[in-house]
Amino acid sequence: MNVETPTTSEGFQMAHLGLNPKKVFRNLPVARLYELALKHEPGTIITSTGALATVSGAKTGRSPRDKRVVREQGTEKEVWWAAPNSGSPNHEMDERSFLLNRETALGYLNSLPHVFVFDGFANWSPESRIKVRVITERAYHALFMSNMLIRPTPAELDDFGEPEFVIYNAGAFPANRYANYMTSSTSVAISLKHREMVILGTEYAGEMKKGVFSYMHYLMPKRGILSLHSGCNVGHDGDVTLFFGLSGTGKTTLSTEPHRPLIGDDEHCWGDGGVFNIEGGCYAKCIGLQANSEPEIFKAIRFGAVLENVMVKGPSRQVHYASSALTENTRASYPITYIDNARIPCVGPHPRNVVLLCCDAFGVLPPVSRLTLEQAMYHFISGYTSKVAGTEMGITEPEATFSACYGGAFLMWHPMKYAAMLAERMSKHGTKAWLVNTGWTGGSYGVGRRMSLRKTRAIIDAIHSGELSRVETAALPLFGLQVPVSCHGVPHEELQPHKAWGNEDAYNSTLTHLARLFVNSFKQYLEDAHEHVGSELAERILTGGPDGAQLEAYEAKHEPLSGSKLGTTGAPKTAAAKAEGPAMAAAAGVLALAQLVAA
């Protein structure tokens, strides 16, 4: 086997994996990956700041409906399996179907003139470190995972040995849509028994990153370590804050602050010794990115960074961050060391604060609320936000959603297990919890306005300084959240959402509707909760949500909104509009890609 690698290739073999490619590029330096990407991947260019800009093809976001987990003896009783109305992302496939997909991927990779291999690590904690191997066709994918995993030193690469998790990325080759368990030409499948992931029919790089995270979401809790979809930073006196939130809630932005060293922006674990980052890099949304509002991220996009599905301006090669011609989900991947104040190694003590972020398109939740332990568990499990444009295929405007543990698409165990582990750690270490709304104020989407980043940062600063722990609070009806009545840098009326609306009847109707959505969503986790945390804890968690008797009284008094609409000016798209949305986006993407290549 012909191997190009910066270290010795002695002992490096892949034949036992079924791979015997003509040429292997293993853990190449950044500059060499640039050369090969520019040579072999149309549409790839170098931007004015030195980043590698490329395109992921037809898929510009994750494909959660095509995710499969193999039902296997030894793990099938541990996985939270998808069932009608369960909310689980873990749709099953049998082992034979997985192996057939794996064989398809191997056949395709073996037919190529060359493949790229990146061997790296997940988890900054030495005791929890996992060896990961990525095998892919594209140089851009190899560079992406070189950023997102922890890069081995030359000595560590020489001694890498056998990987503990392998990703076979044959994303340019389609899955057989007529095969068992397939729903389209895309398949993203994980086998816990084989410790492997197979990707077919999508070249979106985020599938690899989240595949590693999904595996960590199984393996770490099995080892008694809590895995979290969160950002994390630390103050100069060692006060760690965890930021939970889905894409578009501000998790990456708020955890990347110049005055607080960054531990990580997206994936962490909380073990007996404190917290540690799973990843070696960051994957930031960059639609609308500006140097004055997010300087740390802006500066990180330089040589070695990957820009995914952005538009680049003609001969100047300047990035047009405001453009969504290809997708709203434009992304930047870069090593965490590109953040000037990153904390290396990416580990920290036990958190002092937990911040649950949501983007409330209804505009009824306060900008900040103080949570009890029960409320923290309830809202952690609920994972309320609004899907924002571009984070998944077909989403082009805000849509209300609930995602368990602020990352339901990646959970392997039942959400109650993660919540119980979180509560145990918070109670043991005296961690405080907050719900922060980075969404709308003064009205629902289409009427109100989005909370400014400046004011949200003022709230986060007040949490860190202890200001919000000391001020008086007022209770939010139905939810029982304790809302601070003052916060430096935020107008008093914006802290109390009913005052910001100016129409109390409309506010109460919308609040009632949202409370009912919370209650209805949470039912899916109650049926088998006793099997995971016991009936007593499940009932305790339930007390952290909207009060049932008060909700019925409000529904009798205030006419609730119908269906899932946000209001006449902010309703989600109809099913018909959703169906035509992806086709229109794809057509626009083809035109934009042609313009990019022509430039």
Q: Where are the beta strands (DSSP E) in 71-195?
A: 92-93, 115-122, 130-136, 165-170, 187-191
In the set 209, 210, 343, 558, the catalytic residue is 210
- Calculate the dihedral angle through the C-alpha atoms of 91, 97, 98, 102, rounding to the nearest 10 degrees: -140
Question: Does the pLDDT value for residue 323 go beyond 80?
Answer: yes
Provide the pLDDT confidence category of residue 289 given band limits of 50, 70 and 90: very high
Q: pLDDT at residue 585 above 50?
A: no
Q: Which range is least confidently modeled, 64-78, 150-164, 434-448, 550-564?
A: 550-564
The residue segments making up the domain with residue 435 are 350-557
- From 252, 382, 509, 521, the catalytic residue: 252
Which of 11-15, 278-282, 328-332, 395-399 has the weakest average pLDDT? Answer: 395-399
Q: Which residue has the higher pLDDT, 184 or 247?
A: 184
Output phi, psi for 209, to 5 deg: -55, -50
Whether 595 shows a pLDDT value over 70: the answer reads no
Q: Are 266 and 408 contained in the same domain?
A: no
Mean pLDDT of all residues in 305-327:
96
478 plus 491 within the same structural domain: yes
- The answer to the question of residue 123 being in a domain is yes
Active site residue 22: no
Choose the final residue of a domain: 347, 381, 396: 347
Q: Is 210 a catalytic residue?
A: yes
Whether pLDDT at 565 is above 50: no
Helix, strand, coil percentages, rounded to 5, for the chain: 35, 25, 40
Model confidence at 580, pLDDT cuts 50, 70, 90, reads very low
Mean pLDDT of 221-247: 95
Residue 583 domain flag: no
Q: What is the pLDDT of residue 246?
A: 80
Indicate the number of domains in the chain: 2
What global pTM score does this model have? Answer: 0.89
324 in active site: no
- pLDDT tier at 424, thresholds 50, 70, 90: very high
Residue tagged active-site, from 62, 131, 217, 425 = 62
Average pLDDT of the residues of the chain: 90
The C-alpha atoms of residue 575 and residue 259 are separated, in whole angstroms, by 45
* pLDDT surpasses 90 at 1: no
Domain shared by 226 and 370, yes or no:
no
Is the alpha carbon torsion for 565, 567, 570, 573 positive or negative? positive
Residue 427 designated active-site: no
Give the pLDDT band (50/70/90) at residue 598: very low
Domain boundary among the residues 557, 573, 589 is at: 557
341 and 358 in a single domain? The answer is: no
Q: Are residues 343 and 356 in the same domain?
A: no
Assess if residue 575 is contained within a domain: no
Average pLDDT rounded to a whole number, residues 349-375: 96
pLDDT (0 to 100) of residue 311: 97
Give the range among 113-122, 189-198, 352-361, 585-594 with minimum mean pLDDT.
585-594
Domain annotation covers residue 589: no
Q: What CATH number does residue 133 fall under?
A: 3.40.449.10
Annotated catalytic residue, options 133, 138, 285, 331 = 331
CATH number at residue 420: 3.90.228.20
Alpha-carbon torsion (204, 305, 390, 341), positive or negative:
positive
Q: Is residue 7 part of a domain?
A: no
Do residues 316 and 381 both lie within one domain?
no
Determine the pLDDT at residue 510: 92
Q: pLDDT digit string (tens) for 425-472?
A: 999 999 999 999 999 999 988 889 999 999 999 999 999 999 999 999
Same domain, 287 and 407: no
Amino acid (1-letter code) at residue 103:
E
Of 229, 285, 532, 558, the active-site residue reads 229
250 shares its domain with 294: yes
Distances 218 to 211, 269, 343, 596 between C-alpha atoms, Å? 11, 12, 26, 40
| Same domain, residue pair 311 and 401 | no
Question: Is there a catalytic annotation at residue 9?
Answer: no
- Are 328 and 357 within one domain? no
Q: Which of 191, 247, 255, 509 is catalytic?
A: 247
Tell me: pLDDT of 566 over 90. no
The mean pLDDT of 244-264, rounded to a whole number, is 88
- Beta bridge pairs of residue 351: 240
Question: Which residue in the list 217, 251, 414, 558 is annotated as catalytic?
Answer: 251
> Do 96 and 48 sit in the same domain of this protein?
yes
Least trusted range by pLDDT, from 86-95, 138-147, 215-224: 86-95
User: In this structure, is residue 443 part of a structural domain?
Assistant: yes
Task: Given the residues 266, 382, 431, 510, select the one marked as catalytic.
Answer: 266
| Same domain (yes/no): 162, 49 | yes
Least confident of 153-157, 388-392, 473-477, 514-518: 388-392
> Above pLDDT 90, what percent of the chain?
78
62 is catalytic: yes
Average pLDDT over residues 483-512: 94
Residue 591 counted as domain residue? no
In a domain, 444, yes or no: yes
What is the rounded average pLDDT of the residues 144-170?
97
How far is residue 16 from each of residues 13, 110, 167, 399, 588, measured CA to CA in Å?
7, 13, 15, 46, 44
Please report which confidence band the pLDDT of residue 561 belongs to, taking 50, 70 and 90 as the band edges.
low
- Six-digit token pair at 205? 């790089």
